[in-house]
Amino acid sequence: MTSPPQDAAPVKPRILVVEDEYFIAEEIADALAAAGYAVVGPCPSVRQAMAWVEGCDAAVLDASLRGESSLPVAEALAEQAKPFAVVTGFSASQLPPAMAAVPVLAKPLRARDLLKVLEELLPRN
């Protein structure tokens, strides 16, 4: 097995952003990009997010997308053993078990809290 050249750029983890509020989605995407992550999305619907689950390393999910639960996205991520955090105005006790069992961040979201959670969720290279 050959090691990559030492001057090769490290691969950025790809973070799927699932959020239906435009300004919140952009704020999350900007914070992730500034921290060195590659942003996938933002996706404002379950349908769009499901198309990107396989192409991400982790995700940040809003629990509710215009009245639609993002639970199918959470279940797909869990099936693929991909870590994720939930960003919501709900308390963890109001979420389905698949969402309450992961880190839950309250809105309004602080970027440093999100970045700390992602550092804990993603394996270090």
- 57 part of a folded domain: yes
CATH number assigned to the domain comprising residue 88: 3.40.50.2300
Instruction: Say how many domains are in the chain.
Output: 1
- 79 part of a folded domain: yes
H or E segment and range at residue 59: strand 58-62
Domain, as residue range, for 84: 14-121
Read off the pTM.
0.88
Q: In what order do the strands lie in the sheet with 84-88?
A: 38-43, 14-18, 58-62, 84-88, 104-106
Angle at 88 between CA 112 and CA 68, to 5 degrees: 140
Encode the chain (125 residues) as per-residue pLDDT tens digits: 545 555 556 679 999 999 999 999 999 999 999 999 999 999 999 999 999 999 999 999 999 999 899 999 999 999 999 999 999 998 888 999 889 889 999 998 999 999 999 999 997 65
3-state secondary structure of 121: helix
